[in-house]
Amino acid sequence: MSEDKSFIEHGGDIYTEGQFKGVKLLDFSSNINFLGLPKSFKESVYKALEDITCYPDLKYRKIKVHLKDYLKHEIKEENIVLGNGAAEIINLVIATLKKPCIIVPSFSEYEMTAEKYNEEIVFSQLNEDFTYNYKDILDKMKYCDGLVIANPNNPNGGIIDREAFEAIICYCESHKKKIIIDEAFVEFVQDNNQSFIGKCVSFKCLFIIRAFTKFFAMPGIRFGYGVSTDLEFIEKISKLQIPWNINTFAEVAVKTVLSDGEYINNSKVMLEIEKKYFYDKLQKFGFIDKVYESHANFLLLKLRNVSDEDVFNYCILKGVLIRRCRNFRGLDDSFIRLAIKSREDNNRLLEIFIDYKKGLIKEDQ
């Protein structure tokens, strides 16, 4: 249990300790919708095979129409920029900043990207209860030209307080500073009004990032997009992109899953049922100090008297991959993150935790 396994920056590494060693792992480290691929996409994938011998539309006009209809809020096609996953959009927008303020702990890719392009990075630490420190953010935005923030935040699943955030939006709008909001997990939030897409119409400072990776369970499709009513900014980052960055399968995905109301509704309903079940069960383990409330499809756990490495190694031995959180700025080896999955999969991990707890008891005797 003390052996140190190789550490990868992101979740979803089923390869290092899994496939490359001939082991099939149950992945709790990547936060993918446990309902899996939408049936609507599976039934339409043949269309991508038919179209694969042709170049996609260079301007992706139909994709943008589908996104516009899905997003509503008076968003137009020219307000949308498409990316090869959210990662491309994150890279492009952070590259435009000179001195970004990044909320931490949060998705490590923000900081890693900023290190490539920015001479100085400013950080705003979450409060002890993992809520956003709005006063600190506003103070730091006085000498930064852009804010990078997630809604919900990864790794804890916290959301932005819209009322408290209003002063920051107004300040950035009047001082021509950018607010980049990563909403990769926002479709999991029960409140449909949590997104800031609607605010884009009134505030050019806002730039919203979305993707198909999490909610629609399509990390392999590599499709993301950004939304802003600042047309000059949209044009600026679009000029930095390579042509045909969206593949034929992603095109079909956009045309099918955004109108799949049954999948969208079932995803939210089933997530809430499993989240409550998993949350309640996890709180009963003595080696877990705290389970943080989450608005996304994952839970952040603080461990008690054990390390993330110890729990990780035990789970690997049992065929399960969890997310160690030590590489999140502001967290240490007492934190792990778990995706919320199906009842069967959640129970499998709970059984492993029961066995792990028994081992701890024996060690203490």
> For 35-71, how does the pLDDT look when each residue is reduced to its tens digit (9 = 90+)?
999 999 999 999 999 999 999 999 999 999 999 999 9
Cβ neighbours around 231 below 10 Å, total: 12
Looking at the predicted structure, is the pLDDT value of residue 2 above 70? no
- From the list 48, 108, 103, 59, the residue with the least C-alpha distance to 81 is 59
Q: Could you tell me if residue 7 is inside a domain?
A: no
Same domain flag for 202 and 334: no
Q: pLDDT tens digit string along 284-301?
A: 999 999 999 999 999 999
Q: Which of 229, 244, 259 corresponds to the end of one domain? A: 259
Cβ neighbours around 162 below 10 Å, total: 15
Contact yes or no for 206/179 (Cβ under 8 A): yes
154, HSE (Cβ side, Cα atoms, 13 Å): 26
Same domain flag for 288 and 339: yes
Same domain flag for 248 and 285: no
Looking at the predicted structure, is the pLDDT value of residue 357 above 80? yes
Bond preceding residue 219 cis, omega within 30 of 0: no
Looking at the predicted structure, is the pLDDT value of residue 13 above 60? no
Same domain flag for 294 and 150: no
Q: Could you tell me if residue 12 is inside a domain?
A: no
Q: Which residues contact 259 (CB under 8 A, 6 or more apart)?
A: 40, 66, 70
The residue-averaged pLDDT of 167-181 equals: 98
The residue-averaged pLDDT of 161-180 equals: 98
Q: Could you tell me if residue 164 is inside a domain?
A: yes
Looking at the predicted structure, is the pLDDT value of residue 9 above 80? no
Q: Which of 259, 282, 305 corresponds to the end of one domain? A: 259
pLDDT at 313: 94
Using pLDDT thresholds of 50, 70 and 90, give the confidence band for residue 24: confident
Q: pLDDT tens digit string along 253-282?
A: 999 999 999 999 999 999 999 999 999 999
pLDDT at 21: 55
Same domain flag for 164 and 76: yes
Q: Among residues of the chain, what percentage have pLDDT more than 70?
A: 93
Q: pLDDT tens digit string along 119-149?
A: 899 999 999 999 999 999 999 999 999 999 9
Same domain flag for 196 and 215: yes
Q: pLDDT tens digit string along 184-194?
A: 999 999 999 99
Using pLDDT thresholds of 50, 70 and 90, give the confidence band for residue 311: very high
Contact yes or no for 335/362 (Cβ under 8 A): no
CA distances from 280 to 77, 167, 306 (A): 43, 36, 20
Q: Could you tell me if residue 165 is inside a domain?
A: yes
Q: Could you tell me if residue 1 is inside a domain?
A: no
Find the domain containing 169 and state its range.
39-259
CATH of the domain at 64: 3.40.640.10
Same domain flag for 254 and 266: no
CATH of the domain at 347: 3.90.1150.10
CA distances from 219 to 12, 56, 296, 300, 338 (A): 10, 20, 17, 21, 18
pLDDT at 119: 85
Q: Do the strands 122-125 and 100-104 form a parallel or antiparallel pair, or are they unpaired?
A: parallel
Domain total in the chain: 2
Tokens found for residue 121: 């990075």
Q: Which of 208, 239, 259 corresponds to the end of one domain? A: 259
Q: pLDDT tens digit string along 330-348?
A: 999 999 999 999 999 999 9
Same domain flag for 238 and 327: no
Same domain flag for 239 and 294: no
Q: Do the strands 206-211 and 224-227 form a parallel or antiparallel pair, or are they unpaired?
A: antiparallel
